[in-house]
Amino acid sequence: MQDIRWKAFWLLFSWLIVCLIVAAFSDWETAWLLFAIGTIAYLWRHLHWMHQLNRWLDKPDLNTIPMGSGAWEDIFAKVYHEQRRHARTKVQLSNALERFRHAAGALPDGVVLLDDDNKIEWCNRPAELHLGIALKQDIHQPIVYLVRSQEFVQYLQHHVDIDPIKLHTISGSQEMMLEIRLVSFGSNQKLLLSRDISQIEKLDAMRRDFIANVSHELRTPLTVVGGFLETLSEMDKTISKQTRQYFDMMMEQTKRMQLLIEDLLTLSQLEAGKSAPDEEDIDVDNLLNVVVSEAKGLSKGKHQIHLDAQADLNIKASRKELHSAFSNLVSNAIRYTPEGGDIFVSWQAHNQEAVFSVRDTGIGIEPEHINRLTERFYRVDRSRSRETGGTGLGLSIVKHILSRHQARLEIHSEFGKGSTFSAVFPKARIIS
């Protein structure tokens, strides 16, 4: 800028000197006239190049950029370089975009780019197959016009960056089970990812059926064995102390196997149950009184069991499942709390949610185990769990029941001091 101004100054100054020389040799009028003509020509030349620049900017093409003269030559040269750099960056960017599209197109999972109104901006081929989109026609259409499942619409409206949902779709004549996940990015845009999990679901169903069938088949023979053992041990009153001990051990082990099979059956029934559990209005205070009196039977007076329930706090749930989940948590507290310990059972509203919690003063759990407790057959101490009659499936069952009620399990524990297991039910379940 400085340069251009000095250039203009020196040009006008030189012209002024020329005009002064003319004035010295001729007269002042001629000199003034010459100066005026020179200045007007100078301004006209600027106007001319400004006009050229303005015209070129309407249709900026590198091949037609004006050459300019004087200060304008520099300006046009700079515009030319800037335009070339811009064109190069544009080519690089569009190459990168093209490469990204090829890469996203080659993904085995479906990818749909949604704008802030959930309209389709772009999608790859697997997404077209999974969700029945034809990109050429459906671009800029709201995704909910094409995927009409109620569950999907709700997921899209409320949930981003949370657990994926499963969606059953039919593509052509083929049925598919998809896992749908929404990921937010940029300013309110979303990526919708779809994965075909039909095969995994099929294998999982086979595994569930296998466990359910085996458990079912084992139940009858075990009941028969248990029954006859009991009859045999009672038939002959003269059997030796040692033989009686063997009978007792056999009956105890049969009972354990029966419990295990019952838990396996419960778990596979819960896993197979696609629909929400039967819902009824539950008088939780009443249910907890039943749970606590059963717990007292289990404890046989070895623990102090306290109940603090908010009587007017009730929820919609399946009574059978709720009973099973609460009993599991309370019986765990008893089994993992040494004699003389306290168990506090509570049912309270907290932050607009309904919270059932069981606090014990038992053995506690080391932090590294906490995240794994709800896995099937995961036990912190195998021998202790067996001793206390555990199957290793209790918390798995609790987790399934809670998730069927959109509730969550929270575990806090201090090793050697005790644990608190809480089941937190959402506001939507509370009967107001």
Q: Which residues sit at the interface with ligand ADP, rule CB under 6 A?
A: 332-333, 336, 360, 362-363, 365, 373, 378-381, 385, 390-396, 419
- Taking the complex as a whole, the smallest distance from the CB of residue 249 to ligand ADP amounts, in Å, to 20
* Contacts of 323 by beta carbon, 8 Å cutoff, 6+ apart: 287, 290, 291
Dihedral sign for Cα 368, 370, 371, 372, please: positive
Nearer to ligand ADP, 196 or 360 (CB): 360
H/E stretch holding 251: helix 241-272
Least separation in angstroms between CB 342 and ligand ADP:
12
Minimum CB distance to ligand ADP smaller for 136 or for 300:
300
Q: Which is nearer to ligand ADP, 314 or 396 (CB)?
A: 396
Report how far residue 320's alpha carbon sits from residue 266's, in angstroms, rounded to the nearest whole number. Answer: 11
Answer yes or no: are the C-beta atoms of 191 and 183 closer than 8 Å: yes
Least distance (Å) between residue 358 CB and ligand ADP: 7
Q: How far is the CB of 289 from ligand ADP (least distance, A)?
A: 21
Q: DSSP E strands: which ranges in 104-257?
A: 110-114, 120-123, 165-171, 174-185, 189-196
Q: How far is the CB of 288 from ligand ADP (least distance, A)?
A: 17
The CB-of-375 to ligand ADP minimum distance in angstroms stands at 8
Closest distance of CB 366 from ligand ADP, Å: 10
* Least distance CB 186 / ligand ADP (angstroms): 43
Per DSSP, the residues of 315-362 read EEE-HHHHHHHHHHHHHHHHHTS-TT-EEEEEEEEETTEEEEEEEE-S
Minimum CB distance to ligand ADP smaller for 124 or for 331: 331
Q: Which is nearer to ligand ADP, 169 or 337 (CB)?
A: 337
Q: What's the min distance (Å) between Cβ of 226 and ligand ADP?
A: 20
Task: Give, as one character, the DSSP assignment of residue 283.
Answer: -
Q: Which is nearer to ligand ADP, 182 or 261 (CB)?
A: 261
The one-letter code for the residue type at 391 is: T
Distance CA 250, CA 256 (A): 10
According to DSSP, the β-strands at 342-350 and 304-309 are: parallel
DSSP H or E stretch at residue 124: none
Token pair belonging to 25: 């040799």
Q: Which is nearer to ligand ADP, 169 or 332 (CB)?
A: 332
- List, in order, residues 6 or more apart from 418 with CB less than 8 Å away: 337, 341, 359, 360, 361, 362, 364
Least distance to ligand ADP, CB of residue 184, Å: 36
User: Closer to ligand ADP at the Cβ: 268 or 419?
Assistant: 419
Alpha carbon 339 to its chain's center? 43
Residue whose entry in the numeric block shows the structure tokens 């007017």: 312
C-alpha closest to that of 148 among 167, 173, 134: 167
Judged by beta carbon, residue 133 or residue 305, the one nearer ligand ADP is 305
* H helix intervals, 26-108: 28-58, 71-106
Q: Across-strand partners of 329? A: none
Tokens describing residue 306: 């306290």
Judged by beta carbon, residue 273 or residue 389, the one nearer ligand ADP is 389
Please state whether 346 falls in left (phi above 0), alpha (psi between -120 and 50) or beta: beta
